[in-house]
Structure 1
Amino acid sequence: MLILVVEDEPICALSTVAELELAGHRTLGPAATLEEGLELARNGHPALALINIDLMRAGDGVELAKRLRELHVPAVFVSGQHPSAFENRDLALGLIGKPYNPADLPPSIEVLAAVMEGKSFSAASLPRALQLFH
């Protein structure tokens, strides 16, 4: 799966990209701003976007999720900002709460892929870090 990573914390961004690629996914980014994320999405057509809510520079993750929805790119918030994520749950499939165990990322993507494909999955298969909104 091609996954857009929008994360402005360099170590977290690189760790996320590495974990996804080790699991066999392709990545776009990491992007650190709303504008970078939009440009990568428009040019790369990702199947999913992992978005930090609080981006330090121009724009924020909630606005990016709104704009990606217009491009038909589903989003998942990856953030410690749980209240903001839940307030904006209509814009994302779910939340991977920070801090999270990097080993939870690949199984979270598997569950999210099943959700996007309309497949069923066991609630027991949900990684600890993942909370689904829909």
Structure 2
Amino acid sequence: MTAAKDSKTTQTLMIVEDEVLVATLLRDELQEAGYKVLDLTDRHSEALEVAKAEKPHLALVNIRLAGRDDGIELSEHLKALGIPVLLISGQVSRASSAKTVAIGSMPKPYDAADMVLAVTYLLARLKGDDSLPRPDQLEVLDEDSLDLAPAA
């Protein structure tokens, strides 16, 4: 395992997505890139339980969740727990309006490699490292949270 992968395995991610195939493919891609990915969830209540117990470094949250659960509402709760959120959605305008609850958004459909780059970029910025280029598909919603990050 490379040094880059070693540092990523200490970074834990949570995926909250109602489309099982999408969530599974995303999990596999992120694990292949060296990240630790928690059990997949598709509901608000399950995700909050996991987040409270595991304290992931970043949560990837779809806006539309199973049942009538809402990813933006979940993002509010995750932010209150100190967990940054990357919204994933085909609802680009709704994701863009969530600046107060998420640090960024990625539109669906997305390329898995671009998602890995977005996650890597956001986690680096959260640690105070601004040396990586911002991926094209990533919309940064809360630049202030990223700029206020303490240096690692």
Fold match (TM-score > 0.5):
yes
Partner in structure 2 of residue 19 of structure 1: 29
Query: Which amino acid in 1 is paired with 2:118?
Result: S
Check whether the contact 1:6–1:29 (CA below 8 A) recurs between aligned residues: no
Partner in structure 1 of residue 138 of structure 2: 130
Which structure dedicates a bigger proportion of its chain to strand? 1
Summarize the alignment of residues 1-134 of structure 1 with structure 2, pairs less than 5 Å apart: 1-122=11-132, 125-133=133-141, 134=143
Q: How many Å separate the matches in 1 of 2:91 and 2:39?
A: 22
Report the TM-score when normalising by structure 2.
Answer: 0.82
Stretch of structure 1 that moved more, 90-99 or 110-119: 110-119
SS at match of 2:39: strand
CA RMSD of aligned residues (A): 1.2
**Structure number with larger C-alpha Rg:** 2
Query: Which amino acid in 2 is paired with 1:50?
Result: L
Q: How many Å separate the matches in 1 of 2:104 and 2:131?
A: 15
Check whether the contact 1:35–1:58 (CA below 8 A) recurs between aligned residues: no
SS at match of 2:38: strand
CA deviations on 1:48-77 (whole Å, 9 max, x unpaired) are 000000113142100110001111100010
Q: How many Å separate the matches in 2 of 1:119 and 1:54?
A: 31
CA deviations on 1:77-109 (whole Å, 9 max, x unpaired) are 011111111111111110011101111122111
Stretch of structure 1 that moved more, 112-121 or 4-13: 112-121
